[in-house]
């Protein structure tokens, strides 16, 4: 069997390597208390975090669909959360979105096993990150979390001008990695943007399914480019090696 000359492992960042959920919750908890939001609404911190996460997901979907711009997402997701909490506009903390962007990206929680996974994979393959995020924010994350030395390059939706699952962002990553689709494997945690996106782009794809979620679209399981799922990064490393012929 002919082994490809170039082997590129493309990885999502948030909730695949960098623990976005945990870091965001810590940042939001800090902001909730520093801005005394418990006095301005009937919400406790857990309710605030849950509501923000729901609102934020909606705004990110709109951003990924090209419906809104970066600045609108960053500010309006907080304003919308406060409105739903019943906080008057005059009591909205104006700077909170900037504070969030200062606090959250420098937090260092990683998905369990991320550092040994990257150390092992980077010794064998070229590593590229493919992330729906913004340049400054994502660069801060990989720098402060200590994973930057293992990364050869990163493509963000901001730098690309389009977001996953758009095929063009995957094509750009392949160009930057200087390899063919057949010489690459992609892995991410989101079934829609990552798994379906990778498969649609013609790349062998792994679903990092750490919460062991059900597959909503069973046709994915039978697709020749879907090479499996992993609940932990140790399992993912074995899948990558198996499919690269190592």
Please name the helix (run of DSSP H) or strand (run of DSSP E) that holds residue 229, with its range, or none. strand 226-230
**What are the pLDDT digits (tens) for 118-148?**
999 999 999 999 999 999 999 999 999 999 9
Calculate mean pLDDT across residues 60-74. 91
Let me know the angle formed at the C-alpha of 202 by 236 and 3, rounded to the nearest 5 degrees: 65
The more confidently predicted of residues 99 and 66 is 99
Q: Is the pLDDT of residue 94 over 90?
A: no
**What are the pLDDT digits (tens) for 208-246?**
999 999 887 778 888 999 999 999 999 999 999 999 987
Write down the pLDDT at residue 220. Answer: 83
Residue 150: band (very low, low, confident or very high) from pLDDT cuts 50, 70, 90:
very high
- C-beta atoms surrounding 86 within 10 Å: 10
Q: Is the pLDDT of residue 112 over 70?
A: yes
Residue 6: band (very low, low, confident or very high) from pLDDT cuts 50, 70, 90:
low
Write down the pLDDT at residue 144. Answer: 98
Token pair for 167: 């095929």
Q: Is the pLDDT of residue 100 over 50?
A: yes
**What are the pLDDT digits (tens) for 152-209?**
999 999 999 989 999 999 999 999 999 999 999 999 999 999 999 999 999 999 999 9
For residues 143 and 166, the answer to whether their CB atoms sit within 8 Å is no
Q: Is the pLDDT of residue 3 over 60?
A: no
For residues 138 and 18, the answer to whether their CB atoms sit within 8 Å is no
First to last CA, the chain: 12
Calculate mean pLDDT across residues 90-102. 94
């Amino acid at each position: 069997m002919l082994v490809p000359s170039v082997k590129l492992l493309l990885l999502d960042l948030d909730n695949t390597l960098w623990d976005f959920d945990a870091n965001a919750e810590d940042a939001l908890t800090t902001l909730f208390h520093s801005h005394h939001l418990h006095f301005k609404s009937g919400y406790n911190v857990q309710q605030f975090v849950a509501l923000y996460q729901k609102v934020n997901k909606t705004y990110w979907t709109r951003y990924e669909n090209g419906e809104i711009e970066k600045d609108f997402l960053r500010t309006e997701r907080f304003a919308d959360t406060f409105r739903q909490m019943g906080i008057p506009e005059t009591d909205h903390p104006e700077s909170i979105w900037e504070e969030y962007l200062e606090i959250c990206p420098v937090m260092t929680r990683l998905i369990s096993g991320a550092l040994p996974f990257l150390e092992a994979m980077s010794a064998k393959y070229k590593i590229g990150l493919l992330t729906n995020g913004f340049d400054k924010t994502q660069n801060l994350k990989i720098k402060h979390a200590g994973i930057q030395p293992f990364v050869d390059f990163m493509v963000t939706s901001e730098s690309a001008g389009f977001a996953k699952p758009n095929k063009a962002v995957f094509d750009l990553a392949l160009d930057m990695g200087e390899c063919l689709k057949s010489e690459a494997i992609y892995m991410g945690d989101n079934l829609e943007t990552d798994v379906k996106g990778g498969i649609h782009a013609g790349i062998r794809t792994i679903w990092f399914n750490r919460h062991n979620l059900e597959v909503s679209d069973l046709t994915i399981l039978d697709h020749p480019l879907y090479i499996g799922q992993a609940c932990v990064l140790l399992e993912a490393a074995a899948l990558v090696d198996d499919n690269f012929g190592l």
